[in-house]
Amino acid sequence: MTKNYFYKLFFIGTFFLLTSLSYAQVPATGEFQTKATVVKTIEGLSIYPNPATINGKITIETKTNEAKEIEIYNVVGKKIFSTNLNTKELILPNSVTAGIYIIKIKENNASATRKLIVK
């Protein structure tokens, strides 16, 4: 379950405005609000083998082992693969060559992100 938290910050004094080239002092008083979101993580997540092999398979287990959404990203953040997984085993596609990847897993309302190494 996602929980939203709201914080109120009260500020009195001098606020420093920074840019890449200079800074300026700006007198400031007032009330500011910010929001933080807490995302539930997947319990009992296990991904193996890691490192995996090219065109090999990995096993993704969780406490509940329900259907999952899987996304794999390269190190620059480009999504190279996504699928829905109803079993524990995922066969890595040809687009996943040797390297380091980020694997994002969603199960129910929970999510997790892990590093995946492929040799």
Residues 37 and 4 sit within 8 Å (Cβ to Cβ): yes
Tell me the domain boundaries of the chain.
1-118
Encode pLDDT of 58-91 as tens digits. Answer: 999 999 999 999 999 999 999 999 999 999 999 9
CA distance linking residue 89 with residue 78, whole number of Å: 23
Q: How far is 103 from 81, CA to CA, in rounded Å?
A: 9
pLDDT score for 46: 97
Q: Are 99 and 115 in contact (CB under 8 A)?
A: no
The structure tokens listed for 101 are: 């990847």
Q: Which residues of the chain have pLDDT under 50?
A: none
Tokens 């933080």 correspond to 36
For residue 43, the model assigns a pLDDT of 93
What CATH class is the domain 1-118? mainly beta
**Is the pTM higher than 0.75?**
no
Looking at residue 29, its pLDDT comes to 62
